[in-house]
Structure 1
């Protein structure tokens, strides 16, 4: 089984969660691959590009894959599982279901219109610690990735904070409700899940039956 961690939007493989998970896996020891989904070009980021990048990194011998996805990485993981039989298990940390419907209203109509006209929007990148331009192609590409197509029954564990201020936990409830293969665990945390790393690891350890 190969384990791959997908970091979130405007994040990096050096995020607190990615490093914490990598450290836990190292102690077992099992390798956790943590690719950089920015791919050296955050401005040209799209969900399609991320899907292609990760699929290209899957083992060539049909070795099964477990994906651990955080926020937007969780949404990307779910779409990878829909498309590739090689994905046998999903762990989604505060997955960004309904991402555009939660994010765009916070930007406001004027900012979105300006983004569309000027083609780029300055977005704060937590991994870089500075604002970087993001192409409007990100939006037009993301619109095609709706949750209703995610119907492949892949064993899925969702861990979501009740106080999530970015993606409300109701988004995960809605997703899990019509999919009996999904287990949702509520945590006393926000979107970052920074205070519940131990609980997350225990849940992953049990779900994946790790040594």
Structure 2
């Protein structure tokens, strides 16, 4: 059956990230098209998870075509919420998904910085895709607060790949998520949040999970 594959990059990243380029090359060799929308949408300052969901939904093919979402970090969290509300998504591959994103990220900023962000409405955030700091609206935080993991209850075939040395989103977040959802398979890797040293392992896991043979 024809499938549509869409990759969602992480926060302050881009379709040119190392993971995105690696996957698009590997998919091309099969050959299968991997769609990678730019979730910055030319306006990182007004990024929200809701905007990402709307943007990716607009990329979906005809309703008869099942969609597999591959999401990295915040793209993984977005993918999971997209799948919860859209039955067209029939498979999820989540790479170090950002479950509990705000609870991990905001404490690192510190209460004083968060307060200033709330008052001034914008905070300078380092954007890895652009290689510079860009302002981000506080609306990002208020919007993200509504996307809680307890809402994710649709039994959709899900593979999570997470590094045991992840310093951004602790692997415990994925362990907790998988523990109460029998439809989720978690593979723990000897890596950090970037998963840069395990790209071959990730690809093998994706191929097996998505049943991508040489001739598909």
| Superposition TM-score, scaled by structure 1 size | 0.99
Moved over 3 A (4+): none
CA distance in 1, matches of 2:121, 2:64: 40
Which residue in the other structure is 1:26 paired with? 28
Q: CA deviation at 1:87?
A: 0.2
Q: What do the CA deviations read for 1:187-209 (whole angstroms, capped 9, x no partner)? A: 00000000000000000000000
Q: What do the CA deviations read for 1:145-179 (whole angstroms, capped 9, x no partner)? A: 00001000000000000000000000000000000
Q: CA deviation at 1:61?
A: 3.5
- Alignment: residue pair count: 211
Which residue in the other structure is 1:83 paired with? 85
Q: CA deviation at 1:56?
A: 1.1
CA distance in 2, matches of 1:189, 1:60: 37
SS in 2 for 1:186: strand
Which residue in the other structure is 1:137 paired with? 139
Matched, 1:55 2:57: yes
Matched, 1:95 2:97: yes
Matched, 1:167 2:169: yes
Which residue in the other structure is 2:181 paired with? 179
CA distance in 1, matches of 2:118, 2:92: 34
Matched, 1:122 2:124: yes
Matched, 1:42 2:73: no
Q: Is the 8 Å Cα contact of residues 161 and 189 (structure 2) preserved in structure 1?
A: yes
| Superposition TM-score, scaled by structure 2 size | 0.97
RMSD over aligned Cα, in angstroms? 0.4
CA distance in 2, matches of 1:50, 1:38: 8
Q: What do the CA deviations read for 1:25-52 (whole angstroms, capped 9, x no partner)? A: 0000000000000000000000000000
SS in 2 for 1:102: helix
